[in-house]
Amino acid sequence: MYIILGATGHIGSVVAKTLLKQNEAVTVITRNQDKVHEWEQLGAKVAVVDVFQTDELRSVLQQAKRLFLLNPPAPPDTDTSKRELDSIRSILSALNDSGIEKVVAQSTYGAQPGDQIGDLGVLYEMEQHLSKIGIPATIIRGAYYMSNWDMSLVSVREEGKLYTFFPADFSLPMVAPEDLGHVAAQLLTSDSLTGIYHVEGPEQYSVADVATAFSVTLKRPVEVVTTPRSQWESVMMEVGFSKEAAQSFAGMTDVTLQKGPEIADSPIRGAITLQTYIRQLVVQQ
């Protein structure tokens, strides 16, 4: 039995569906009762439990042998780093005496120690704790998600402008969540593959490449508009981020710009190009 944490998201849903297509027994964990019927129709079992309910979560984990761990993102109007650290600590605590024999955990390029640096710090702590709990663990460090550009579609379509905190010529590895999900499913079913695996798309892309992908798909000019550092936090707070969340996201972006993206020696490469991802996004929206 496989358990999927984060099955309602871009990556976890692909992991679960891939395993179900392979006729594997899958339980998805969700806190949303509305998702139960959808997953049952696909052949999965569903456990409705909040990751902060440590004892209840452990009871679910005791029914399986392998876990895909994706720490759920905190609502942006909360102190996201604190809440996400609390949730990962609850999940890791639930693993104690759970009987889980292998964990595949979703992390990120650039994970490193530090406060107020968003996922970089939170997921680094997850990696460190997983290495100490005595359960074989595989860490997937995913490149910058192409889905981070989803929210840009409205302004690109309506204004012809791609708003970003990055300069137009800033390049970094990117990956489609679908590719991450397929890799995670493969690693989850493997009996031998543990350690850290880096996953990125076919090539590195710049922000200008993102604008070009939108331009080609929408058949209109698209301009990159870079928000000055002095405005980052106020811009995020205007759209609903808490002060703490805005500071955390700004800190993460600062680190990425100052240090540059993590460079992996031999990454696993997904098949989905940026242009293909943007084309699918436009069609679906």
For 47-80, write each residue's pLDDT tens digit. 999 999 999 999 999 999 999 999 999 999 999 9
pLDDT of residue 2 exceeding 80: yes
User: What per-residue confidence (pLDDT) applies to 203?
Assistant: 93
**What value does the mean pLDDT take over residues 26-53?**
91
Instruction: Please say whether the beta carbons of 51 and 87 come within 8 A.
Output: yes
User: What per-residue confidence (pLDDT) applies to 133?
Assistant: 87
- The model's pLDDT over 4-24, given as tens digits with 9 standing for 90+, comes to 998 888 999 999 999 999 999
Instruction: Please say whether the beta carbons of 107 and 123 come within 8 A.
Output: yes
**What value does the mean pLDDT take over residues 266-281?**
97
- The model's pLDDT over 172-229, given as tens digits with 9 standing for 90+, comes to 999 999 999 999 999 999 887 778 999 999 999 999 999 999 999 999 999 999 999 9
Q: Is the pTM of this model over 0.85?
A: yes
User: What per-residue confidence (pLDDT) applies to 228?
Assistant: 97
**What value does the mean pLDDT take over residues 266-270?**
95
Q: Distance between terminal CA atoms of the chain?
A: 35
- The model's pLDDT over 131-146, given as tens digits with 9 standing for 90+, comes to 888 899 999 999 999 9
Residue 82 three-state SS:
helix
How does residue 284 score in pLDDT terms, banded at 50, 70 and 90?
confident
Mean pLDDT of the chain: 95
Q: Mind listing the domains of the chain with CATH numbers?
A: 2-145+175-202+262-271 (3.40.50.720)
Instruction: Please say whether the beta carbons of 60 and 29 come within 8 A.
Output: yes
CA distance 259 to 99: 40
